[in-house]
Amino acid sequence: MKSVLDLKKLKDNKSKIKMVTCYDHWTAKILGQTEVDCLLVGDSLSMVVHGFDSTVHATLEMMTLHTAAVARAKTEKLIVSDLPFLAHRKGKKYLMDAADALMKAGAQALKIETQPGQEKWVRYLVDSGVPVVGHVGLTPQYVNQLGGYKVQGKKAEDYQKILKHSLDLEKAGASALVLECVPSPLATEITHDLSIPTIGIGAGQDVDGQVLVLQDLLGMDTQFKPRFVRQFAQGEKWLKDSIGGYTEAVEKGSFPSREESFQ
Ligand code: KIV
């Protein structure tokens, strides 16, 4: 899959969209051999890979570097990259330079976190030839205003705001929407009202697809288990056990063996 049009086809065919985050080359090569449809080079890489406490720290340089590493795996998966914090607030030239850098690095669409009233930036990108994925509900780049990573749209007024913003993003030309941490009835209503696909994370079942941070679904951090994450593997244990096997073999002198050495 190489274009956002394929996401729409999946919605129309009632097939679920499967998206995961991917930040590096070797993981992209493996994911290229799976059934996922779409690799998200998410700005969550600032937390997962670089150890920052929020996505506010993801820079354009980081996003470009990781996008290029993923793209060099040359998979058939659609690559969506995040526009970093404030990209659409630094003026048109900065937004265009950022979009240019990410698309040239290998992204096929860009994801942008917006608030109501900022849809014109989506229209501007789309009119410039950049396919856009919107992101509503819990928008982590706004964490300092939201006062934490909390479910959004619980109050009637916020519910209506998110619903209207979603409709406005579709009108502005967005090709798909990520719905993060919103009540399931809101996600259902948005999915029903929009003709573009919705991809949920903490948004329940009635959406057109799901996205998870890869390290969360692999169970790489047993300390981090929010309600919406299912750990499909015990990655942390697998990594520790593998390294345990290696260190023990080195300590005992059983690695390398004669066959693993040059005679
Ligand atoms: O950056 C990211 O990983 C994301 C997903 C959580 C949707 O935006």
How do residues 145-201 score in pLDDT, each as one tens digit? Answer: 999 999 999 999 999 999 999 999 999 999 999 999 999 999 999 999 999 999 999
pTM summary value: 0.97
154: exposed, middle or buried (C-beta count within 10 Å: 0-12, 13-18, 19+)? exposed
Q: What is the pLDDT of residues 8-19, one digit of tens each?
A: 999 999 999 999
Nearest CA to ligand 1 atom 1: 42
**Has 76 been annotated as catalytic?**
no
Count of residues making up the chain: 263
pLDDT of 165: 98
Distance CA 227, CA 40 (A): 21
Distance CA 208, CA 216 (A): 21
Mutate to test the pocket of ligand 1, among 178, 181, 212, 228 (most ligand atoms within 8 A of CB): 178
pLDDT of 2: 79
Nearest CA to ligand 1 atom 8: 42
Closest CA to 137 of 152, 154, 122, 119: 152
Contact between 112 and 83 (Cβ < 8 Å):
yes
> Would you give the distance in Å from CA 105 to the centre of its chain?
17
Contact between 35 and 18 (Cβ < 8 Å):
yes
Residue 118 has pLDDT above 90, yes or no: yes
Distance CA 173, CA 214 (A): 28
